[in-house]
A and B are shown apart, each in its own frame.
Chain A
Amino acid sequence: MIRPRWRKVISDLVGNLGRSLLVVLSIAVGLFAIGILITNHRVIAEDMVTGYRAVNPANIMLVTTPFDDDLVERVKSVKGVRDALGVHRVSLRVQTRQGNWLPMDFNAIPDMNTQAINQVHLLEGVWPPDDKEVVVEQSKLSEIGAGMGDWITVELPSGKTRRLRIVGIVKDLTLGAAAGGGGFFLAAPQGYITPSTLPWLEQSEAWNTLYVTVEQGDDETAIRQVAQKVRREVEAQGVFIFSSAVRTSNNHPNRIYVDAVVGVLFVLGALVVFLSGFLITNTLNALLAQQMVQIGVMKLIGAQRWQVAGIYQVLILIYGVLALILALPLSARFSYVLLEYLANRINLQLQGFRIVPLAILVQVVLALAVPQGAALLPILHGVRVRIHEVISGIRPSEAVQTPHWIERLQKRFRALPRPLLISLRNTFRRTQRLILTLITLTLGGAIFIATFNTQAAIERYIRQLSRYFLADVNLTFEAPQRIQRVQNDLAQVPGVGHVEGWAYTRADLMGAGDEVLDTVQLIGVPIETTLVTPILREGRWLQSGDRNVLVVNERFRATLPNLRVGDTLHLRINGSEREWVVVGFLQLAGQNLGHLAYVPYPELSRQLGQSGRGLLFRVAADRSNLSLPEQEDLARQVDAFLKARGYHVTEARAGLSVLEKTAKGLDVLTNFLLILSGLAAIVGSIGLAGTMSLNVMERTREIGIMRAIGASDGTIRTLVIVEGVLIGLMSWVLASLAAFPISRLLSNVISQAIFNAPALFAYTPTGFLAWLGVVLVLSVIASLLPARTAVRLTIREVLAYE
């Protein structure tokens, strides 16, 4: 037979299901959020490394003049090299479903069945393809608008076209790994073909890209040392190296986004732990306040303090366990919804569903320890209750005084409606309780608002990025073209206004001796360019009279943390090394873009031997503020016109679409934050609803007394709603204030991860207004429901209510 004290625990649980549900939900929602945050934090961090390492990624990537298998075998015998693979990479234009032509990278890989380096995951169809077939990479598939089984049309160097059938879809985690190439988000759609397909595409069968793995793949210094040896070996065979990149086996190309996500999860996780703690404390305070008379009675009939405390500790333990049972599976399941979203967008390969022990441990500790800790003070307070006070209902020791300022306010605003005055007084009667409620609601609201502000900061930054993409059409030619000729030709295209020709090359960023640190993309812009207005973080932009100077992007700071304005960099262009002086630091779309620097056009074109010529052309329309469709239309016209004139255009792309592509990584973060703000809203809302409801439940007896002395149901409803809304509004004001530092913290975490620089801040009314709406609606609902129950009880029932 169960002892009566435990029967009390059970009957308290089931006898007041509504209250029990509220308490369990209040605890569970915090556990749920924490479970999700920790699971995401761990799985992303682990799977990024595990998944990337599993594909045996290249540690050294060299883009070269053609070479054969002999060179590959020689490289394999270089000390420190584990394996080497020669592939042929070629960029060809393919036609999109919309009829546009976009560059696509085709990778011809030998022995695809046993490909040892940069392995891909087959998602659909077959691997390897047969000759004259193609397998495509999934993350860029939407850009060409084709799917499994579709045919894609490829434009060959001669102008002829070929059609290849898509026979498989794969995931390639190494996409963007050659950082110099522009990263994952800027990478072109990828296709994988057999080497035998190359001649059919008018390409030679020789390799032009060398992938090397090294023995110590996790040690960047070791990789660099091996890379030097490999470079010497390659160059000794008369093969010219265009660009080189190194990457450790645990450094996923999108690591910075993962770092940003993990940072956000960490900050939010810590805040949610606090929020849950307050939520639980508040809920249990309310619960124990309702139990004071029963505690007094138990002491009256012989219960010692430890016995009473034991009853409530067990009750709270059960609440915690029930919350845990609810939160564990839900958080594990929902974590993977979020993870799959992220994995698809930042190109991670999840290693399958699994339980994260740390998430469970933290949830168990939170479910069992935090409620006990939170309830400790209320329980101690409860067991010390003075019996005669609680059983008589006269509690001078608990006497609550209306704060003087409220009294003064009431005197001053006598004209205010009576229910509002009573609600005001009620709200401030129990100051300690009010503070606890407000802290809980404020924290929930502040997190919610802060996620919106952080999104706004990122979106604002994305808008700012358009300063780099002021041209309406961005053209890339297969080979440098005479600028004057292109300008004259394009002047005939209706709608074209201003045209600039830019120089472009890849250079080696040199370290000590002949060590190559990384590849740098150099963009030579006319000093007087009107199509770039950079976001400068330090130093200055290019000016007339400049020669060997660079304005570098945020990535340089990661590679060379001590780099300052005025410092000199050694760059090797086409085999000859020169000094370049850094005059400014700019912020672009994140470190993921690789090393990128703007240099004066005259100097770069001179060094390239391309004076008066440009590889990149920027076209501005003759009117401003073109929409994306208008820009695309102009790009098509320009492309067709140039093609008709015999130019070989690799890409003609709308400016806004380049911006969109560049900002895609940041978009992922924005959407991720949107999901997290939803999570914060759930936690905050349930906290708000629970706290409000318990506040009203606690006052059931008071409601009965008011009804007994003639208050109508309407009056009571008004009182309760006004009080709820007052608390809600106060919490909203406080949450709005608290949102500012939290927003700054979150923005900074993201900014440091992506830009290696402090954040730009932005504040949007959306979060503030959305939370105000949530607060108002929930305050009314959460107050009204228990008040409705209370007014439905007969006066006798209410007055007998515990």
Chain B
Amino acid sequence: MASLLTSAPASATPIISLRGVKKAYHTPAGDFWALHGIDLEVYPGEFVGIIGKSGAGKTTLLNMISGIDALTEGEVLVNGVRVHDLDEDRLALWRGRTLGVITQNFLLMPTLTLLENVLLPMDFCGLWQGRKSAERAQELLRQVELEEHIHKLPAAISGGQQQRVAIARALANDPPILLADEPTGRLDSGTAEGILHIFERLVAAGKTIVMVTHDLSLERRFSRVVWMADGRLVANRQIALG
């Protein structure tokens, strides 16, 4: 396996670090190993693409980073925190403040307006409250060009627009890291392009993004690409910018 450190600036400290991460699922047919000892480091400001076929273990890897699934073996450090040492509530609060998670099926609250969807993480994590949180939510929705729709329910807007709301929600607590699991998987190419453009702007603004995709054509949009197959990293390549 290629050394990941060679892909990173020598002086930088990784913002995400996975060491020997293994994950097994217990099934009636026996244990299924979704990850076979992953070592990976992601540095601040990187836009890392994890590419692989369906079943390669990409989403499981992302779940290890966000702590929403338990490790079988290994260690995950995110922003200096041993993620899997936190109890469930601390993990939730930490996740809300440190990570923005974007998924393929948007996962917006169907009964809340777009504005309320964006306000919800701020309400839970308590970093912004009252008028300030409302102003921030409106600003985030403006940045994803949805300021005209803020009082609509998710069902009243398109899939691409829902994904932009999900991005605005992921940014609500101004986390340093965004984790995106197939964020363009259910979108047409034009809409997907818009989403990637937003990600690029965010990276330019200093955010770190780890994005999972099976779309090989997106390889060149990332600053670094990690290839996965059968629960292992099979290649890790820095993309030459420009």
Residues of A near any B CB (own CB < 8 A):
1, 3-5, 7-8, 11-12, 15-16, 293-294, 297-307, 384, 386-388, 391-392, 396, 797, 800-802
**A11-B112, A388-B68, A800-B155 known; A293-B131 Cβ under 8 A:** no
Checking B110, B119, B131, B170 against A4 with a beta-carbon cut-off of 8 angstroms, the contacting residue is: B119
Distance of A306 Cα from B89 Cα, bound (Å)? 8
Nearest CB of chain B from residue A298's CB, rounded to whole Å: 7
Assuming A8-B116, A801-B110, what are 17 further A-B pairs, CB within 8 angstroms? A5-B123, A7-B112, A12-B111, A293-B107, A294-B109, A298-B124, A301-B120, A302-B121, A303-B124, A304-B88, A304-B89, A305-B88, A306-B89, A388-B69, A391-B107, A396-B27, A797-B155
**A7-B116, A388-B68 known; A307-B124 Cβ under 8 A:** yes
Distance of A802 Cα from B59 Cα, bound (Å)? 22
**A4-B116, A5-B123, A387-B68 known; A305-B131 Cβ under 8 A:** no
**A5-B124, A388-B69 known; A304-B93 Cβ under 8 A:** yes
Name the 6 nearest CB pairs between A and B, nearest first.
A302-B96, A11-B111, A15-B111, A387-B68, A304-B89, A4-B119
Checking B59, B134, B169 against A301 with a beta-carbon cut-off of 8 angstroms, the contacting residue is: B169
Q: Which residues of the other chain, A, contact B27 by a CB distance below 8 angstroms?
A: 396
Distance of A8 Cα from B121 Cα, bound (Å)? 13
21 pairs, A vs B, C-beta closer than 8 Å = A4-B117, A4-B123, A5-B120, A7-B116, A294-B109, A300-B101, A301-B101, A301-B121, A301-B170, A301-B172, A302-B92, A302-B121, A302-B124, A304-B88, A304-B89, A304-B92, A304-B93, A386-B69, A388-B59, A391-B68, A801-B110
Residues of B88-138 whose CB lies within 8 A of A: 88-89, 92-93, 95-97, 101, 103, 105, 107, 109-112, 116-117, 119-125, 130-131, 134
Q: Is B173 an interface residue (CB 8 A)?
A: yes
Contact B109 A1 (CB under 8 A): no
User: Which residue of A has the minimal Cβ distance to B119?
Assistant: A4
Distance of A294 Cα from B116 Cα, bound (Å)? 14
Residues of B in contact (CB 8 Å), total 39
Q: Which residues of the other chain, A, contact B107 by a CB distance below 8 angstroms?
A: 293, 297, 300, 391
Distance of A7 Cα from B169 Cα, bound (Å)? 16
Distance of A251 Cα from B121 Cα, bound (Å)? 67
**A301-B120, A302-B95 known; A8-B111 Cβ under 8 A:** yes
Q: Is B72 an interface residue (CB 8 A)?
A: no
User: Which residue of B has the minimal Cβ distance to A401?
Assistant: B28
Distance of A695 Cα from B109 Cα, bound (Å)? 22
Q: Taking each of B89, B92, B110, B170, which has the highest tally of chain A beta carbons within 10 Å of its own beta carbon? A: B92
Q: Which residues of the other chain, B, contact A7 by a CB distance below 8 angstroms?
A: 112, 116
Distance of A11 Cα from B111 Cα, bound (Å)? 6
Q: Which residues of the other chain, A, contact B110 by a CB distance below 8 angstroms?
A: 15, 294, 800-802
Residues of B145-189 whose CB lies within 8 A of A: 155, 169-170, 172-173
**A4-B112, A396-B27 known; A298-B88 Cβ under 8 A:** no
Q: Which residues of the other chain, B, contact A391 by a CB distance below 8 angstroms?
A: 68, 103, 105, 107
Residues of B5-63 whose CB lies within 8 A of A: 25, 27, 59, 63
Nearest CB of chain A from residue B164's CB, rounded to whole Å: 16
Distance of A137 Cα from B27 Cα, bound (Å)? 81
Contact A305 B97 (CB under 8 A): no
Q: Taking each of B111, B130, B169, which has the highest tally of chain A beta carbons within 10 Å of its own beta carbon? A: B111
Distance of A299 Cα from B119 Cα, bound (Å)? 14
Contact B120 A298 (CB under 8 A): yes
Distance of A797 Cα from B155 Cα, bound (Å)? 8
Distance of A435 Cα from B105 Cα, bound (Å)? 34
Distance of A300 Cα from B106 Cα, bound (Å)? 12
Distance of A797 Cα from B110 Cα, bound (Å)? 11
Nearest CB of chain B from residue A789's CB, rounded to whole Å: 15
Q: Which residues of the other chain, B, contact A11 by a CB distance below 8 angstroms?
A: 111-112, 116
Distance of A302 Cα from B155 Cα, bound (Å)? 23
Distance of A4 Cα from B108 Cα, bound (Å)? 13
Checking B63, B169, B172 against A388 with a beta-carbon cut-off of 8 angstroms, the contacting residue is: B63
Q: Taking each of B89, B109, B119, which has the highest tally of chain A beta carbons within 10 Å of its own beta carbon? A: B109
Checking B97, B111, B119, B120 against A16 with a beta-carbon cut-off of 8 angstroms, the contacting residue is: B111
